[in-house]
């Protein structure tokens, strides 16, 4: 776990450098408070719940550290209990 200071759609979210047992959805450009990013939703491989998303590309220099990392909502982490 890298940081707790993220906001997901349903509440607080965590930034992970790697997440297991997920499948990636199609890439799409999404506008965040921190700027435009290309992201892909991540789904649990067993129950297909959308757990969060992966930052594929960040267009803001200050947000580059997020590239290749995953945002997982706390609510979903607690449900899955796998991390």
Residues that bind Zn ion (CB under 5 A): 44, 46-47
Q: Are 69 and 54 in contact (CB under 8 A)?
A: yes
Angstrom distance (rounded) from CA 49 to CA 76: 8
Angstrom distance (rounded) from CA 50 to CA 61: 28
Q: Which is nearer to Zn ion, 5 or 20 (CB)?
A: 20
The nearest distance, CB 83 to Zn ion, in angstroms, is: 12
The nearest distance, CB 28 to Zn ion, in angstroms, is: 22
Q: Which is nearer to Zn ion, 10 or 64 (CB)?
A: 10
* Token reading at 57: 């590309």
The nearest distance, CB 82 to Zn ion, in angstroms, is: 8
Q: Which is nearer to Zn ion, 20 or 47 (CB)?
A: 47
Length of the chain: 83
């Amino acid at each position: 776990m890298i940081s707790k200071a993220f906001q997901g759609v349903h509440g607080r979210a965590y930034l992970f450098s790697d997440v297991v047992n997920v499948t990636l959805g199609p890439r799409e450009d999404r506008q965040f408070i921190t700027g435009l990013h290309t992201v892909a939703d991540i789904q649990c491989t067993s129950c297909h719940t959308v757990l969060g998303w992966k930052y594929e590309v960040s267009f803001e220099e200050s947000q580059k550290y997020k590239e290749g990392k995953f945002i997982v909502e706390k609510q979903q982490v607690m449900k899955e209990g796998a991390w």
